[in-house]
Structure 1
Amino acid sequence: MRNTGRLCALLGSLFISISAGSTYVFSSYAPQLQTALHLSSTQLNVLGLAGNMGMYMSGPLWGRWIDQSGPHGAVLAGAILVLSGYGMVSRAYKYEWQNMPVAVLAIFCMLTGLGNSAGNNAAINVQAKNWTGTHRGSAMALVLSAFGLSAFVYSTLSHVFFSGNVTGYLDLLALGSFGCFVTGMALIKVIPPTQEEIQAETTRHHADYNPVPNENREAHPPRALPKHLSRMRSSSETSARVIAWIRDVAEAEEAVDDENAEEEEEEEESPSQENITGWALIKNVDFLLLFTILGLVSGSGLLLINNVGTITHVLYDYAHTQSKQAGALGQMLLFLIKGGKGHEIQRIQALQVSCISLGNALGRIVIGIISDMVVLRTQQPTYRTYLIIPVVVLATLSQGLFALPNVINSVEHLMLVSCLTGLMYGTLFGLFPVLVFEWFGMQSFSQNWGWSSFAPVIFGNIYNLLFGVVYDSNVPKGGHSHKCLKGEECYRSVFLLTTLGCLVSLVVCFVLLWRRVHGFSAKLRSLFSRRRLAIE
């Protein structure tokens, strides 16, 4: 019965998450918004950053509310915020409010981020508290994958039903998000595991880890004595008493060791019992290292997510201006796409957003399943930390391809990087919430993850504003179109910086492994010593 309730709550979380990720569809309508309101690239990035700031910086506030009052109030508030935010952006586009200050438009975009943050935090919080350790990662990954799939769902709906109709698309975002939030709110419920379920899982872990069952540990068998002490047993009454005293001391030490071992096992299997939050969290070295990796990697992902529409326009216009032949994939795309140039570009934008979204969703599912498998096989939750390495490698690869000249110079090549970036972003946000939960505790998980969410805001703001400045510096002066005609050189220098940031995060990753994973330093020294011997 409890599992049925948990499955209903999981379904409700999926409803919420499938719309809570709509912040990532900004780039699918951003170029059209820029044209209608005559915005520069820097101003457009300010709007995108406002949505991201609402999404990530409000995390601690929503987390505190959810931890103290439950998820339902936060979801309802989020539903009202997304309806208001997208509704006002739709009106601004439809009536071309060109004289409206950018700050006011940014507030509308921030409302969408605030609402989506409320829904996302509530959906994750419910699943984090409803499941035991062996299923928690998979449940959270499923919800997070729905969050990542949101952009694909809405961009596909816009492609099918609202091609060339940006106003209808924005109205769909407003009403669709509101409906999903309200439906999910009716289904979600916190049903934490009972003590019996936790004990059963612990027993199962011990059975898997120790195939030979232990005897009853309450009755400690006497420890075998050395042969010379056994021979002393019959020598005299005094020596017999001494031997008995030695045995008693040995048994007492064994009992203490057993109790300590049990406590260590319980702490390792239930790391969420520890609760670190507030200033203690911010001063925690492991949290700061995790924060740095999250910021550097997610910031590079947000750079492409927010600007893929602009990059698509640049590559498309540059290819046609230079009269270059598109590749086989590009020719097939252009053949299948019918309508004017505006419809064509909008559909290619939707395709790029869909690639990012599908990669995002796939990454969240895969990393959740793999992380749970790692814990089941090793019986060591800290071994999840190793999975940060492939995440950072994916980020470095995707950013490095952008940084290389004449590599990503067409819309079909851009699809490859969009898929890689989505996969990287999904694995990142599928893994890190579980690490925060297990390292710093369940009681304040939403608050702690909210503080972690400041990392994408800080680094994402820096990267996106830098993109806007670099792009605007390459736009011809005196025009009103705000279009750069230099192809990839309009923005490529920004990706040199993001690639460097990913390399730094790789170094930080090994420092974190050194600190968190027991025996990692010994394995590393052993690896280097073997290589040195092989060279010699």
Structure 2
Amino acid sequence: MKSIKLSRKTLSFISALLISSLCGTQYAFSVYSTSVAERLGFSSVQINTIGSSANYGLFFFGPFFGYIVDTYPSRIIPMLASITIFTGYFCLAMTYQGYFPNSFLLCVFYLLLTGIASCAAHLSSMGTISANIKSYRGIAFGASMALFGLTAFIFSQINSLFFRGDTYHFLLFTAITTGVFIFIGSIFLVRVPQEESHEEIISPSEENSSTSSASLNNEERTPLLSRHEESDVRGRELFQNIDAMILGLTLLLIGGVGLMYMNNVGAIVKSLYLSTSTHPLLIDEEYFSSSLPSDHDLNKIQEYQNFHVTLLSLFSCSGRISVGLMSDLSKNMYNVRRLWFLLAASLYILIGQILAGFMIKDLNHLWISSTFIGFGYGHLFGISPTITNEWFGKIQFVLNWYFISFGGQLFNLFFGYNFDKHKNDCSGLSCYNTAFYVSTIGISIPLT
């Protein structure tokens, strides 16, 4: 009987990891963003708005799905998400190929659908992990968030190996794989009832009627700070909690700065490539240049874009998984607060921002920025769910997490606005470095 319970729990965890590995496709946007912009005639602001819409779907709908997942957990949610994410990418592919109307607003809607679906599916997997696993939550959440961050690497590598600039078929492939495998994972995504295992978390209705002595026996419930002990902060109380507000502001600023670079690394790569001595950047009313690159140049640009998306994804993944492991070991063995890892994430991203915005002027060294920002972004979103779970309780963990992690799109849109504003009289670094002045100030706020 115990082996059956363990098998169900293990299979559910594997399914949650599978779903997580397919929910971060919005971070692969830079792989095809410039191709979509050129094919459909979108400006930098427009393509940034399209890319941001996936993140809007991911964050704006977090509270809604967080409440549903916490209160009425069901496999139906990720099943519906699989259909929705397929629809979003399929419609974008049809628009790119000219089968559907070329509409900026429709493209925004299509990417919004993918973000909503990613939000629903990822929250379902996170909620299942929170319900089924008590010991070593840092590692469990870190693994889920790591695979979420690894999605961009997986799809960028597939694009490089099998599609090589064939954006239409790449988008179709993305639609089919995300839709099919999220649906398969949802079939086995179950919460093992508490009565079947003493390690299980109690459902929300049962938790309200249980005594606090059971949670006191749980070693992982030991808080970072004494004032957070046995916390159960939710609903309106969360917005009146100073710790929650500070944590949310920190994530908004640091995460927003990292997201700005990740969503626009494709534009940065193209700008730097075209500004070299052999490929001068000659700008007119077109999206990037009047000196249209040759097919060879377009292929090289695509290779560089895939490379940097891969770097960001790999180091984001390593940051998420390593911070979960290190924070668990540091907390249990040396009583080191997890907040120190949040500070480390800020420093990593700050270093990457300074290098990319003010010091790196060619593609030979841009990998350094991608490495720092990817690792810092992974650190940030690897440690934050665990902090949220420990500080504010597990009953409405998913809903609390998405309230706290919401935001960060203003930096992304400012980058697009700034790029369009300077596109007629810029070359390389000067096309976008103004945006990095603003982002550097933004990330400096939580550090102070």
Structure exhibiting the larger radius of gyration computed from Cα positions = 1
What is aligned with 2:420?
472
TM-score, with structure 1 as normaliser:
0.73
Deviation at 1:264, TM superposition (A): 12
Deviation at 1:26, TM superposition (A): 0.8
Q: 1: distance between equivalents of 2:179 and 2:35?
A: 24
The structure 1 residue matched to 2:313, chosen from 357, 360, 365, is 357
Deviation at 1:46, TM superposition (A): 0.8
- Do residues 444 (structure 1) and 422 (structure 2) align? no
Q: After the TM superposition, which residues 11-410 of structure 1 pair with which residues of structure 2 at under 5 Å, given as runs?
A: 11-95=14-98, 100-132=102-134, 134-191=135-192, 197=198, 268=222, 273-321=230-278, 340-378=296-334, 380=335, 383-404=337-358, 407-410=359-362
Query: Match for 2:88: what amino acid?
Result: G
User: Does the 8 Å contact 1:71/1:126 carry over to 2?
Assistant: no
Deviation at 1:121, TM superposition (A): 0.8
Query: Match for 2:342: what amino acid?
Result: I
Deviation at 1:265, TM superposition (A): 8.9
Instruction: Report percent identity of matched pairs.
Output: 27
TM-score, with structure 2 as normaliser:
0.87
Map Cα deviations across residues 294-341 of structure 1 (whole Å, 9 max, x no partner).
0110001110111111111100111155679xxxxxxxxxxxxx9722
User: Does the 8 Å contact 2:320/2:379 carry over to 1?
Assistant: yes
What is aligned with 1:492?
433
User: Does the 8 Å contact 1:272/1:440 carry over to 2?
Assistant: no
Unaligned runs of 5+ in 1: 200-258, 325-337, 477-483, 508-536
User: Does the 8 Å contact 1:23/1:52 carry over to 2?
Assistant: yes
Higher helix share: 1
Partner of 1:155: helix, strand, or coil?
A: helix
Partner of 2:42: helix, strand, or coil?
A: coil
What is aligned with 2:205?
none
The structure 1 residue matched to 2:447, chosen from 482, 506, 510, is 506
Q: 2: distance between equivalents of 1:286 and 1:145?
A: 25
Query: Match for 2:385: what amino acid?
Result: P
What is aligned with 1:220?
none
Unaligned runs of 5+ in 2: 201-212, 282-293
Q: 2: distance between equivalents of 1:344 and 1:402?
A: 20
Change (3 A) 1:51 1:267: closer
Q: 2: distance between equivalents of 1:13 and 1:267?
A: 22
Change (3 A) 1:435 1:267: closer
Change (3 A) 1:177 1:195: closer
Change (3 A) 1:263 1:145: closer
Query: Match for 1:453: what amino acid?
Result: S
Aligned length: 416
Deviation at 1:118, TM superposition (A): 0.9
CA RMSD of the aligned region, Å? Answer: 2.5
Q: 2: distance between equivalents of 1:91 and 1:163?
A: 19
Partner of 2:234: helix, strand, or coil?
A: coil
Deviation at 1:49, TM superposition (A): 1.2
The structure 1 residue matched to 2:12, chosen from 5, 9, 22, is 9
